[in-house]
């Protein structure tokens, strides 16, 4: 779950990392009032995407009048697929140089990785490519936590940055990461001011989705993924549904089999209408799942692919057969069924719908693609 | 990591619904299930097996070679640390949605104690004809017919489908290693490939990968050194970038983890990459 700048910065501030004074507002009038309090300011669009600056969503304002006009311009603006509904109005900071700092979960070392570079203000990929010698990538043993001496020993050339101040800031950053089940916590840019202070000018925080259940209060401040109506409906019953552009509906169990069914549809010249898996404990929800797939009017045929391991094919098939009889959809459906409970499941489909499941997925998919055309 | 039929296994979380069901299936198949753990039911008997208060207690009483965790997400870290303290050297973690910082914690402890970990979010292991650990339909002979192909899969359901395809294509399975669908896991594709390379019953390997992460690319480097033939299927070619496709690990960010990158890395290593899983037996049949 991603947190926008306005929701991420308070986490830094609570740990003692300095962020510019400012407020989140939803109108030009409110922006004016904030600017009157803090003076020369920056008006920053708050949307869950990284391309705000390039899109014209960040502007300097020397006076309250300018803050008013810039806020009026930015509010309502379209950035990527998002409409700007709120802006952060923050005091301007006298910048001497821009730095980069982050802590993230690293699959290669299987540990938290502390990243720091005196070259900031650009993407980390760019820093890694253009200034690899200036990028510290230090894995931390999560059992022992942040070790200031080890970090100090691994820092690159710092220029005018005070080493003790920087190590203290990184330690705070690590604390915020550890306390909040972060997947990624990034300050970019971290700025060195002309007064020699370190200030977090921006902040990106991604909460580990598997950490949400022990961070419920925190998660309320995150930005939920933008969803379609059907996606929202599926999430409400704990189903993973993603709407796609095609016309062959997909109902399968397990993320792997579902993705593979989509791949096969695409390989045989069709286009999948959705991702929807009912694996894990969700395998009992096949009736709800079918209703959601069929609610998409683009669906012209349906491919049902069950490969039971943990999930039982008989339970899934029973749900689908019952729902099919109840909904009486006017489209053809194609089955392949194998694995735990397959014999009973095949019998249910035969008796309930008078259909014969295919032995091979490829054959069933080819038929489903043809039927959708 | 491979668990043989001679090795003893305990089930942490044996008294739960899933723990009970799969402990029975594993025992029926031939896995040497010797008991389980539930701190609240220490000293009782469940499905005819002893229940200990901790893995440490179990290991104090008897030899425990492996453990399998059927434990809710927020309890996994403590259960895994218990198993590591007990000196158990093989651990299979079934649970999905374990907080990643917890995973990194017990993986660090496991590494130090030389305990091999499979998962989290795995469907487990099958040593065909000997034992299985986890929740794979090992007992279904149409899927797990004995043979010479070792299978590595991030997904349980897709791994099952590939084993089925191999059997439909006239081949059989030696060992199935489900490594799990999480972004950070104990045994990577490469680790599993090394295990199958060293497994004398395995003469060929099927890699079942997914978009996201860099594990297939890393495995491709090792594949260059192998003489056993390898075929691979990578799921997710038709998945839109930037979206999590069910598995937490299956997400393409920028160019990292893309289908094209994985396919190219594997093909450079001489691995045949097929467009649908049914192509795997076609590739391997001529080579065994």
Contact A340, B137 (CB under 8 A): yes
What residues of B are in contact with residue A359 (Cβ under 8 Å)?
168
Q: Are residue B237 and residue B270 in the same domain, yes or no?
A: yes
pLDDT digits (tens, 9 = 90+) for A83-121: 999 999 999 999 999 999 999 999 989 999 999 999 988
Nearest to B187 by CA among B266, B111, B268, B281: B111
Find the CATH number of the domain harbouring B92.
Answer: 3.40.50.720
Percentage of residues in chain B having pLDDT higher than 90:
87
Backbone angles phi, psi at A123, to 5 degrees: -65, 150
Cross-chain CB nearest to B157 (options A213, A307, A361): A307
Which domains, and CATH codes, for chain A? 21-91 (3.30.1490.20), 95-219 (3.30.470.20), 229-372 (3.40.50.261)
Contact B177, B125 (CB under 8 A): yes
Domain span at residue B262 reads 140-285
Residues 6+ apart with CB under 8 A from B37: B10, B11, B12, B13, B14, B51, B52, B53, B54, B55, B57, B58, B79, B82
Query: For chain A, what's the residue count?
Result: 373
Please judge whether A359 and B168 are an interchain contact, meaning their C-beta atoms are less than 8 angstroms apart.
yes
What residues of B are in contact with residue A111 (Cβ under 8 Å)?
104, 108
pLDDT digits (tens, 9 = 90+) for A195-225: 999 999 999 999 999 999 999 999 999 998 8
pLDDT digits (tens, 9 = 90+) for B66-86: 999 999 999 999 999 999 999
For residue A174, give the 3-state DSSP assignment. helix
Helix, strand, coil abundance in chain A, percent, nearest 5: 40, 25, 35
Q: What confidence category does residue A308 fall into, taking pLDDT thresholds of 50, 70 and 90?
A: confident
Q: Are residue B111 and residue B160 in the same domain, yes or no?
A: no
CB atoms within 10 A of CB A240: 21
Residues 171-230 of B with CB under 8 A from A: 181, 183-184, 208, 210-211, 213-215
Q: What confidence category does residue B251 fall into, taking pLDDT thresholds of 50, 70 and 90?
A: low
For residue A188, give the 3-state DSSP assignment. strand
Contact B285, B229 (CB under 8 A): no
Q: What confidence category does residue B245 fall into, taking pLDDT thresholds of 50, 70 and 90?
A: low
Whether B87 has a pLDDT exceeding 80, the answer reads yes
Please judge whether A339 and B248 are an interchain contact, meaning their C-beta atoms are less than 8 angstroms apart.
no
Nearest-neighbour CA in chain B from A241: distance (Å): 9
Nearest-neighbour CA in chain B from A259: distance (Å): 5
Pick from A85-94, A176-185, A281-290, B59-68: least confident: A281-290
Task: For chain A, say whether B235 makes contact (Cβ under 8 Å).
Answer: yes
Task: For chain B, say whether A309 makes contact (Cβ under 8 Å).
Answer: yes
Q: Are residue B221 and residue B257 in the same domain, yes or no?
A: yes
Q: What confidence category does residue B249 fall into, taking pLDDT thresholds of 50, 70 and 90?
A: low
Pick from A55-59, A310-314, B119-123, B231-235: least confident: A310-314
Residue-level pLDDT at B252: 58
Nearest to B70 by CA among B9, B136, B13: B13
What average pLDDT does range A8-18 have in this prediction? 98
Cross-chain CB nearest to B278 (options A110, A125, A362): A362
Residue B131 included in any domain: no
Sequence-ordered alpha helix ranges (H) in chain A: 5-14, 28-38, 64-74, 124-130, 148-154, 163-179, 216-219, 229-236, 255-267, 286-294, 313-327, 342-353, 361-372
What average pLDDT does range B16-36 have in this prediction? 96
Read off the DSSP letter of residue A134: G
Residue B63 included in any domain: yes
Task: For chain B, say whether A240 makes contact (Cβ under 8 Å).
Answer: yes
Contact A160, A166 (CB under 8 A): no
Cross-chain CB nearest to B237 (options A178, A208, A266): A266
Full-model pTM: 0.93
Residues 6+ apart with CB under 8 A from B77: B98, B102, B103, B105, B106
Please judge whether B74 and A214 are an interchain contact, meaning their C-beta atoms are less than 8 angstroms apart.
yes
Cross-chain CB nearest to B101 (options A178, A253, A259): A178
Number of domains in chain B: 2
Q: What confidence category does residue A309 fall into, taking pLDDT thresholds of 50, 70 and 90?
A: confident
**Distance in angstroms (rounded) separating the CA atoms of residues A4 and A138:** 26
Cross-chain CB nearest to B238 (options A142, A262, A340): A262
Count of pairs with CB atoms under 8 A, one residue in A, one in B: 181
Find the CATH number of the domain harbouring B156.
Answer: 3.40.50.261
Out of B56, B83, B118, pick the residue that ends a domain: B118
Cross-chain CB nearest to A257 (options B103, B137, B158): B158
Q: What confidence category does residue A227 fall into, taking pLDDT thresholds of 50, 70 and 90?
A: confident
Residue B194 included in any domain: yes
Contact B95, B156 (CB under 8 A): no
Task: For chain A, say whether B161 makes contact (Cβ under 8 Å).
Answer: yes
For residue A205, give the 3-state DSSP assignment. strand
Residue B123 included in any domain: no
What average pLDDT does range B268-272 have in this prediction? 96
Contact B51, B42 (CB under 8 A): yes
Residue B166 included in any domain: yes
Mutation site, B101, B111, B125, interface A, largest A CB count within 10 A: B101
Whether B247 has a pLDDT exceeding 90, the answer reads no
Please judge whether B159 and A211 are an interchain contact, meaning their C-beta atoms are less than 8 angstroms apart.
no
Residues 34-93 of A with CB under 8 A from B: none
Residue B245 included in any domain: yes
Nearest-neighbour CA in chain B from A328: distance (Å): 29
Residue whose structure tokens are 């917890």? B102
Residues 312-331 of A with CB under 8 A from B: none
Q: Are residue B270 and residue B156 in the same domain, yes or no?
A: yes
Whether B246 has a pLDDT exceeding 80, the answer reads no
Would residue B247 show up in a list of annotated catalytic residues for this protein? yes
Average pLDDT, chain A: 94
Which residues face B204 on adjacent strands? Answer: B149
What average pLDDT does range A334-355 have in this prediction? 94
Task: For chain A, say whether B241 makes contact (Cβ under 8 Å).
Answer: no
Q: Are residue B156 and residue B281 in the same domain, yes or no?
A: yes
Nearest to B124 by CA among B111, B137, B113, B114: B137
Residue-level pLDDT at A278: 85
What average pLDDT does range A158-170 have in this prediction? 96
Q: Are residue B103 and residue B145 in the same domain, yes or no?
A: no
Residue B125 included in any domain: no
Cross-chain CB nearest to A255 (options B161, B237, B250): B250
Task: For chain A, say whether B50 makes contact (Cβ under 8 Å).
Answer: no
Mutation site, B246, B260, B273, B280, interface A, largest A CB count within 10 A: B246
Out of B83, B118, B153, pick the residue that ends a domain: B118
Q: Are residue B181 and residue B112 in the same domain, yes or no?
A: no
Q: Which has more pLDDT, A234 or B179?
A: B179
What residues of B are in contact with residue A266 (Cβ under 8 Å)?
237-238
Task: For chain B, say whether A184 makes contact (Cβ under 8 Å).
Answer: no
Q: What confidence category does residue A287 fall into, taking pLDDT thresholds of 50, 70 and 90?
A: confident
Cα–Cα–Cα angle for B42, B43, B47, rounded to 5 degrees: 95
Please judge whether A309 and B168 are an interchain contact, meaning their C-beta atoms are less than 8 angstroms apart.
no
Nearest-neighbour CA in chain B from A308: distance (Å): 6
Whether A228 has a pLDDT exceeding 90, the answer reads no
Task: For chain B, say whether A96 makes contact (Cβ under 8 Å).
Answer: no
What average pLDDT does range B233-238 have in this prediction? 94
Residue-level pLDDT at B101: 98
Residues 117-146 of B with CB under 8 A from A: 123, 135-137, 140, 142-143
**Distance in angstroms (rounded) separating the CA atoms of residues B209 and B162:** 11
Residue whose structure tokens are 């490594």? B179
Q: Are residue B144 and residue B280 in the same domain, yes or no?
A: yes
Residue-level pLDDT at B198: 97
Residue-level pLDDT at A358: 97
pLDDT digits (tens, 9 = 90+) for A232-282: 888 888 888 999 999 999 999 988 999 999 999 999 999 999 999 886 677
Q: Are residue B113 and residue B145 in the same domain, yes or no?
A: no
Contact A341, A319 (CB under 8 A): no
Catalytic residue from among B25, B77, B228, B247: B247
Please judge whether A256 and B214 are an interchain contact, meaning their C-beta atoms are less than 8 angstroms apart.
no
Nearest-neighbour CA in chain A from B183: distance (Å): 6
Out of B86, B118, B150, pick the residue that ends a domain: B118
Q: Are residue B156 and residue B253 in the same domain, yes or no?
A: yes
Please judge whether A256 and B157 are an interchain contact, meaning their C-beta atoms are less than 8 angstroms apart.
yes
Q: Are residue B268 and residue B152 in the same domain, yes or no?
A: yes
Q: Are residue B80 and residue B188 in the same domain, yes or no?
A: no
Count of H helices and E strands in chain A? 13, 18
Q: Which has more pLDDT, B286 or B188?
A: B188
Read off the DSSP letter of residue A213: G
Residue of A nearest to B18 (CA): A310
Here the tokens at position A158 are 């710092």
Residue B133 included in any domain: no
Mutation site, B80, B157, B251, interface A, largest A CB count within 10 A: B157
Here the tokens at position A117 are 């570079």
Average pLDDT, chain B: 94
């Amino acid at each position: 779950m991603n947190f926008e700048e306005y929701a991420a910065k308070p986490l830094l501030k609570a740990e003692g990392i300095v962020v510019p004074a400012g407020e989140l507002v939803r109108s030009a009038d409110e922006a004016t009032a904030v600017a009157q309090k803090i003076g020369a300011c920056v008006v920053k669009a708050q949307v869950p995407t990284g391309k705000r600056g390039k899109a014209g969503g960040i502007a300097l304002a020397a006076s309250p009048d300018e803050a008013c006009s810039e806020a009026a311009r930015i509010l309502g603006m379209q950035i990527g697929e998002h409409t700007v509904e709120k802006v952060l109005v923050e005091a301007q900071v006298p910048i001497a140089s821009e730095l980069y700092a982050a802590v993230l979960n690293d699959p290669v070392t299987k540990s938290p990785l502390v990243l720091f570079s005196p070259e900031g203000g650009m993407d980390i990929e760019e820093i890694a490519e253009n200034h690899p010698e200036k990028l510290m990538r230090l894995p931390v043993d999560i059992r022992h936590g942040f070790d200031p001496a080890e970090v100090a020993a691994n820092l690159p050339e710092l220029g005018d940055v005070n080493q003790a101040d920087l190590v203290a800031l990184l330690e705070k950053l690590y604390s915020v990461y550890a306390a909040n089940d972060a997947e990624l916590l990034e300050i970019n840019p971290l700025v060195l001011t002309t007064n020699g202070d370190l200030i977090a000018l921006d902040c990106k925080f991604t909460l580990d989705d598997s950490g949400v259940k022990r961070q419920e209060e925190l998660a309320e401040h995150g930005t939920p993924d933008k969803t379609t109506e059907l996606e929202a409906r599926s999430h409400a019953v704990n189903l993973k549904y993603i709407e796609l552009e095609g016309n062959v509906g997909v109902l399968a169990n397990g993320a792997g089999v579902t993705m593979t069914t989509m791949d096969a549809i695409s390989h045989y010249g069709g286009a999948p209408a959705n991702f929807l898996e009912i694996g894990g404990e969700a395998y009992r929800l096949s009736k709800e799942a079918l209703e959601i797939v069929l609610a998409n009017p683009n669906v012209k045929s349906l491919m049902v692919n069950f490969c039971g391991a943990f999930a039982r094919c008989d339970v899934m098939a029973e749900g689908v057969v019952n729902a099919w009889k109840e909904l009486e959809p006017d489209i053809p459906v194609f089955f392949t069924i194998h694995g735990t409970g397959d014999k009973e499941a095949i019998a249910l489909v035969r008796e309930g719908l008078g259909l014969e499941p295919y032995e091979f997925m490829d054959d069933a998919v080819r038929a489903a693609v043809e039927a959708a055309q | 990591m491979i668990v043989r039929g001679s090795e003893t296994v305990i089930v942490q979380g044996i008294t739960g619904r899933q723990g009970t069901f799969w402990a029975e299936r594993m025992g029926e198949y031939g896995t040497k299930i010797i008991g389980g753990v539930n701190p609240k039911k220490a000293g009782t008997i469940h499905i005819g097996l002893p229940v200990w208060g901790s893995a440490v207690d179990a290991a104090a009483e008897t030899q425990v070679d492996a453990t399998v965790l059927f434990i809710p997400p927020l309890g996994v870290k403590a259960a895994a640390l218990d198993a590591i303290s007990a000196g158990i050297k093989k651990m299979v973690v079934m649970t999905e949605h374990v907080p990643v910082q917890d995973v990194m914690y017990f993986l660090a402890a496991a590494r130090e104690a030389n305990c091999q970990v499979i998962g989290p979010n795995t469907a487990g292991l099958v040593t065909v004809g000997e034992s299985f650990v986890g929740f794979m339909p090992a007992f279904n002979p149409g899927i797990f017919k004995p043979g010479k192909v070792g299978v590595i899969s991030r997904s349980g359901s897709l791994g099952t489908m590939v084993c089925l395809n191999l059997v439909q294509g006239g081949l059989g399975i030696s060992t199935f290693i489900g490594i799990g669908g999480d972004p950070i896991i104990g045994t990577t594709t490469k680790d599993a490939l090394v295990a199958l390379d060293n497994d004398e019953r395995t003469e060929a390997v099927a890699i079942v990968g997914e978009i996201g992460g860099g594990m297939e690319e890393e495995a491709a480097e090792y594949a260059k050194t192998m003489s056993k033939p390898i075929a691979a299927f990578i799921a997710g070619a038709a998945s839109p970038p930037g979206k999590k496709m069910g598995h937490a690990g299956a997400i393409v960010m920028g160019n990292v983890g893309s289908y094209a990158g994985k396919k190219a890395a594997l093909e450079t290593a001489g691995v045949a990459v097929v467009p649908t899983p049914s192509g795997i037996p076609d590739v391997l049949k001529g080579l065994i």
